[in-house]
A and B are shown apart, each in its own frame.
Chain A
Amino acid sequence: MQIIIVGCGNVGAALTEQLSGEGHDVTVIEQKKDVIQSVVNNFDVMGIVGNGASYMVMRDAGIEYADLMIAVTGNDELNLLCCLIARKAGHCNTIARVKNPIYKKEISFIKEELGLSLVVNPEELAANEAAKLLKFPAATSIETFAGGRAEIVHMTVDESSRICNKSLREIQGEIKSKVLIAVVQRADEVSIPNGDFVLRANDELTIVGASRNIAEFFRKIGLPTTRVHSAMIIGGGSTGYYLADQLISFGIDVKLFERDLERCKRLSDLLPQALIINADGTDKDALMEEGLVGTEAFVAMTSLDEENIMLSMYVKSQNPKAKLITKVHRVNYGEIIGSLQIGSIIYPKNITAQRIVQYVRGMSNSMGNNSIEALYKMNDGRVEALEFFVPENSPVIGKPLSDMHLKKGVLVSLINRKGEIISPKGSSEIQAEDTVIIITSQVGLLDIADILEK
């Protein structure tokens, strides 16, 4: 597809990398010359220096032939204007990033009137992600598939856990659960385990299954499956606000730390039920005074990555039981941050890019290019989870899985048959019109037939 991306900040750059890697024709518009320079040097895309809301610039970028325009600058009004102009100048779908809460209330009107296909709000998406994790604190991250009925959940093995130092076969025998342990990451090594694989402390597991089966699995191994009851949020920016708002609606006690007094006053207007504390989140005494040791969850959401990471490490030392969530903007050092073992890390830019890429894939499917319904990158991009639709006369139909010659590193982890979630065994068969979730260390599968060895 011909895609134009306006704005090449954090989100724009992640999108550019992802979409150009998937083979789309990408043109990037950005006002900073050096940014364009580096984007053009690193990816096979066209770069244009200029204001994306200018008709001339849009025309240079080929808006007449574009299928999709994505406006992800930091400025809401500019993004909306870009979409408006793109609609009028070409015949493309448009996606805008809009973060101002005022527009959020009118979003359906704006979407309708400006003809937007999708509106994304990185702060809100990050907050949703955090809220999801606080509802299910045993997981370090959760992806939902099949319209919410199936999940891919990441968790870390605890030394005292029932499953520690046992092989997968033993675990299956003891627990008899219907979930699949699909990927294990130990330190830097990622593997797709077989039955003899023995789990160790601090292994990071990827578990696939129907949502209720996963909850059951967690209960059986003795991990909490209910939401937390209290949370401390450091940083009252937009993300902090959205998160607090959601948590309050679940009935969770929220303490929100914010350094700026004016912002605190504003927050207390917006969130009358939250306890707003005007203090620096890095102030140890203030944290202790407000009950750091007793809180069930701690969310570091200041605008500084370093501060967030330091805070989480400190809380881990003081209150090891608390669920920790840390917001990090820069993804470059993902592996190192992962090795710090500070619970869940949220990368707003990745979440946003992922949401948009999902939309692009859907569009691309409807144009008949491939049959991927959804794709998630896990374990720093080394493993992918793909959701495929199985068309009629596909070569994978009607054969037991154990008889198929699957490529190395390919795992059929879940079958969704018209809403029924099946955790496949060796005797299971795939039928036409199933959707199948494949977990794989092979990158670049485009069709369900690609899982077979040629």
Chain B
Amino acid sequence: MNFNMIRYLLFRVVQITGLLMILPLVVAFIYKEYFCAEVFGIIIAACLIIGFAGGYKKPKNQAIYAREGFVVTALTWITISLIGALPFQLTGVTKSYVDALFETISGLTTTGSTILSDVEMYYSVQFWRCFTHWIGGMGVLVFILAIMPMAGGYSMHIMRAESPGPSVGKFVPKVRETAKILYSIYFGITILQTVCLLFTGLNAYEALTATFATVGTGGFGINNAGIGGFGYASQVVITVFMIICGINFSVYYYLITKRPKEAFNNDEVKLYLALMFGSATLIAFMIYKQGATATPLESFHHSLFTVASVMTTTGFATLDFNTWPQLARTLLACLMLTGACAGSTGGGFKLSRFLILIRAMKNELTYIVHPKSVKKVYMDGNPVDQSVVKSVSAYLSMYVVIFILSTLLISIDEFDYETNFTAVAATLNNIGPGLSMVGPTGNFGAYSDLSKFVLMFDMLAGRLELLPMLILFSPKNWTKR
């Protein structure tokens, strides 16, 4: 383990966290919240000084291998969360530091679960809360890779540890250029959505915060009524951008570089769109029959919004889907588990993993009937390597184990099964609200501190795709090499 390099990167992260807080500081000045400005100012100064002092000396040995990549990723996210929680606690928005931490981790991992029953607070703190979604959406280390030159090819280990999906590729030969492309696309989408929202009549603050929460597929709202408080036009814009952000960013890269054939030859995206519109139609039919909405079009609008919100793991709500028919609720719970596409800002298990698993399952069945048959799993018309299939199966096992253990642990708090099950599902998949007590109108505030820690672990594990967190907590990886 190259502790020196890990130290160097972490202090860099502290520095960057400080720089990121300049934005809410500006907001505090705009809204004349001088108390908050003071809090942000002190934190920024502390971060910059500590970061500069600790990251001053660049280590000679910059070698980062797979395990350093994983450990540094996990530690980075924990570090940012610890610092990011300070504004909530110091301004008195949350009652305890644990609550503040839960809120920050929920923001950074783009989950959107909250422990607050009243989310209307200081503008600047509110802004920071939504901004954490945007930071976490693309990943902090990818950002660092984009701006910091690193020796050798070591950066790939970091990129692989932080990026979602069963296999991570590069668009262009250099990791740094790839990171830049990803961030440019991310910036582009952010600006586009903000402009669209401004046109639908939101003010700049509302438009920006809603955009952060959408493109990061997070789901924090800025008022208690949630997105339901916005007009239809804004809701439609948000729906469209949720869907856009749930698609693998490589599709956009191919479109920009005028390679439509490669862009559209993507099984995962096809499945994503089919599932999205199929379930939306089905649920629209059900809620129209139930009488929750007045016209069929309105039903479809709300149902598509909800399905997009759940599938991309954003977690916005226009209506309280907790009151919808049982089949619709169960369908939504299933969609929570599938998640969005790999390589997007969305969370969850990722559709590409499901596709690989289902196709491997089909091959396995063929194999039982024809024991001598040799068959490969195909994705996008290309054979998938056996090692990828194996890692996806392993991922599923880890996922299930973490899921069951977490559900068991939080059951200590004596809530009903549906609440606990969906609470874990909503945090491990970075969605936000679950069903029953943690549904769109409820919150996670009632859980004990122990459960909150379990759910925080789930959120981080879900965002970083399990491995970094598991490797961080296995002591044998900490030995000196």
User: A-side interface residues toward B, CB under 8 Å?
Assistant: 2, 20, 25-27, 33, 40-46, 62
CA distance A62 to B253 in the complex (A): 14
Docked Cα-Cα span, A26 to B175, in Å, equals 11
A375–B66 CA distance with the chains assembled, in angstroms: 33
Q: How far is the CA of A20 from the CA of B153 in the complex (A)?
A: 9
Residue of A nearest to B385 (CB): A33
Stretch from B17-25, B166-174, B219-227 forming part of the interface with A? B166-174
Using Cβ atoms and an 8 Å threshold, which residues of chain A touch B177?
25
Task: Select which of A27, A33, A41, A42 is within 8 A of B173 by beta carbon.
Answer: A27
B174 close to A42 (CB less than 8 A): no
Residues of B near A62 (CB, < 8 A) are 172
B359 at the interface (CB under 8 A from A): no
- Residue numbers in A under 8 Å from B172 (CB-CB): 25, 46, 62
* Interchain CB contact under 8 A, A43 and B385: no
B385 touches A42 (CB 8 A): no
Nearest neighbor of A34 in chain B, beta-carbon distance: B387
User: B66 contacts which chain A residues (CB < 8 A)?
Assistant: 41
Let me know if B74 is at the binding interface, CB within 8 A: no
- A85 to B173 CA separation, bound complex (whole angstroms): 21
Nearest 3 Cβ contacts at the A-B interface = A43-B153, A46-B173, A44-B153
User: Are B152 and A45 closer than 8 Å at their CB atoms?
Assistant: no
- On chain A, the residues within 8 Å of B152 by CB distance are 42-44
B314 at the interface (CB under 8 A from A): no
* Pairwise interchain contact B157-A44, C-beta atoms closer than 8 A: no
Tell which of B157, B170, B177 has the most Cβ of chain A within 10 Å.
Answer: B170
Residues of chain B having any CB pair with chain A under 8 Å:
66, 152-153, 155-157, 170, 172-177, 385
Give CA–CA (A45, B66) in the complex, Å.
17
18 additional contacts, CB 8 Å, given A25-B173, A27-B173?
A2-B173, A20-B153, A20-B173, A25-B174, A25-B177, A40-B153, A40-B156, A42-B152, A43-B153, A44-B153, A44-B155, A44-B156, A44-B173, A44-B175, A44-B176, A45-B174, A46-B170, A62-B172
Give the CA-CA distance A40 to B175 in the complex, in Å: 10
Please name all residues of chain A whose beta carbon is closer than 8 Å to the beta carbon of B173 when the two chains form the complex. 2, 20, 25-27, 44-46
Complex alpha-carbon distance, A27 and B172, angstroms: 8
Closest to A25 in B: B173
A-B pairs with beta carbons under 8 Å apart, 7 shown: A20-B173, A40-B153, A41-B156, A42-B152, A43-B153, A45-B174, A46-B170
Which residues of B have CB within 8 Å of A26? 173
Min distance, Cβ B66 to any Cβ of chain A, angstroms: 8
CB distance from B253 to the nearest CB of A (A): 12
Closest approach, in angstroms, between the C-beta of A66 and any C-beta of chain B? 11
| Contact status A41-B157, CB under 8 Å | yes
- Are B170 and A42 in touch, CB under 8 angstroms? no
List B contacts of A41 (CB < 8 A).
Answer: 66, 153, 156-157
Give the chain B neighbours of A25 by CB distance below 8 A: 172-174, 177
| A45 touching B153, Cβ below 8 Å | yes
A interface: dominant SS: mixed
A65 to B172, CA, bound (A): 11
A41 vs B174: C-alpha distance when bound (angstroms): 12
CA distance A26 to B176 in the complex (A): 13
A41 to B176, CA, bound (A): 15
Q: How many angstroms between the C-alpha atoms of A215 and B173 in the bound complex? A: 46
Which residues from A are CB-within-8-Å of B155? 44
**Whole-angstrom CA separation of A43 from B173 in the bound complex:** 10
State in angstroms the CA–CA spacing of A137 and B124 once bound together: 77
Q: Distance (Å) between the CB of B2 and the closest chain A CB?
A: 15
A43 — which chain B residues lie within 8 A by C-beta? 152-153
For the complex formed, measure the closest distance between the CB of A39 and the CB atoms of chain B, giving whole angstroms: 8
* Nearest A-chain residue to B155, judged by Cβ: A44
Contacts of B156 in A (CB 8 A): 40-41, 44
Chain B residues lying within 8 Å of A45, measured Cβ to Cβ, are 153, 173-174
- Which residues of chain B are within 8 angstroms of A2 by Cβ–Cβ distance? 173
Contacts of A40 in B (CB 8 A): 153, 156
* B174 in contact with A44 (CB, 8 Å): yes
| Distance in angstroms between the alpha carbons of A33 and B175 in the assembled complex | 20
A26 to B152: give the CA distance in the assembly, Å.
13
- A60 CB → nearest B CB, Å: 9
A388 shortest CB reach to chain B, Å: 24
Residues of the A chain whose Cβ atoms lie less than 8 Å from the Cβ of B174: 25, 44-45
The chain B residue sitting closest to A62, CB to CB, is: B172
Q: Which of A2, A25, A44 has the most chain B CB within a 10 Å cutoff?
A: A44
Beta-carbon nearest neighbor of B65 in chain A: A41
How far apart sit A2 and B155, CA to CA, in the bound complex (Å)?
20
| Closest chain B residue to A23, Cβ basis | B174
In the assembled complex, the Cα of A27 lies from the Cα of B173 at a distance in Å of: 6
Bound CA span A63–B10, Å: 39
Rounded to whole Å, the gap between the CB of A244 and the closest CB of chain B is 41
- Tell me the smallest distance from the CB of B93 to a CB of chain A, in Å: 43
Please, which residue of chain B has its CB at the minimum distance from the CB of A33?
Answer: B385
Please, how many angstroms separate the alpha-carbon atoms of A27 and B175 in the complex? 12
Q: Considering the chains assembled together, what is the distance between the CA atoms of A118 and B152 in angstroms?
A: 28
Closest Cβ neighbor of A24 among chain B residues: B173
Instruction: Please give, as numbers and ranges, the residues of chain A lying within 8 Å of B153 by CB-CB distance.
Output: 20, 40-45
Q: Smallest distance from the beta carbon of A109 to chain B beta carbons, Å?
A: 34
Q: Give the shortest distance, in Å, between B406 (CB) and chain A (any CB).
A: 33
Complex Cα distance, B177 from A2, in Å, reads 13
Task: Find chain A residues with CB under 8 A from B385 CB.
Answer: 33
Closest to B63 in A: A42
- Chain A's closest residue to B157 (CB) is A41
Closest to B178 in A: A46
Residue of B whose beta carbon sits closest to that of A46 = B173
Q: How far is the CA of A41 from the CA of B152 in the complex (A)?
A: 9
Question: In the complex, which residues of chain A have a beta carbon less than 8 angstroms from the beta carbon of B157?
Answer: 41
C-alpha spacing A43/B153, complex, angstroms: 4
- Among A33, A43, A46, residue most surrounded by chain B Cβ atoms (within 10 Å): A46
Which of B153, B155, B173 has the most chain A CB within a 10 Å cutoff? B173
Cβ distance B329 to chain A, nearest Cβ, rounded Å: 44
Chain A nearest CB from B67 CB (Å) reads 13
Provide the bound-state CA to CA distance between A62 and B156, in Å: 20
> In the bound complex, what is the Cα–Cα distance between A40 and B173 (angstroms)?
9
B177 to chain A: closest residue by CB: A25
Considering the chains assembled together, what is the distance between the CA atoms of A45 and B178 in angstroms? 11
Q: Give the residue name and chain of the A residue nearest to B66 (CB).
A: A41
How far is it, in angstroms, between the C-alpha of A42 and the C-alpha of B151 when the chains are bound?
11
Q: What separation, in Å, do the CA atoms of A20 and B152 have in the docked complex?
A: 8
A438, chain B: closest CB distance, angstroms: 23
What's the least CB distance linking B179 to chain A, in Å? 11
In the assembled complex, the Cα of A27 lies from the Cα of B176 at a distance in Å of: 15
Most chain A CB neighbours (cut-off 10 Å) among B66, B155, B174: B174
- Bound together, the chains give a CA A33 to CA B174 distance in angstroms of 20
Q: Which residues of A contact B170 (CB under 8 A)?
A: 46
Q: Residues of B contacting A46 with CB < 8 Å? A: 170, 172-173
* Bound CA–CA A40/B157 (angstroms): 10
Distance to closest chain B CB from A25 (angstroms)? 4
Q: What's the nearest-Cβ distance from chain A to residue B174, in Å?
A: 5
Taking CB atoms, residues of chain B closer than 8 Å to A20 are 153, 173
A27 CA / B178 CA spacing, docked (Å) = 13
Bound together, the chains give a CA A43 to CA B177 distance in angstroms of: 14
In the bound complex, how far is the Cα of B156 from the Cα of A43, in angstroms? 9
Least CB distance, A13 to chain B, in whole angstroms: 13
- Among B66, B153, B172, B175, the most chain A Cβ lie within 10 Å of the Cβ of B153
Q: How far is the CA of A46 from the CA of B169 in the complex (A)?
A: 8
Residue of B nearest to A40 (CB): B156
Q: How far is the CA of A135 from the CA of B172 in the complex (A)?
A: 47
Whole-angstrom distance between the Cβ of B233 and the nearest chain A Cβ: 41
| Cα–Cα, bound, A62→B177 (Å) | 15
Nearest-neighbor residue (CB-CB) of A2 within chain B: B173
Give the distance in Å from the alpha carbon of A20 to the alpha carbon of B175 in the complex: 12
With A and B bound together, what is the CA distance between A41 and B63 in angstroms?
A: 11
Q: Whole-angstrom distance from the CB of B384 to the nearest CB of chain A?
A: 12
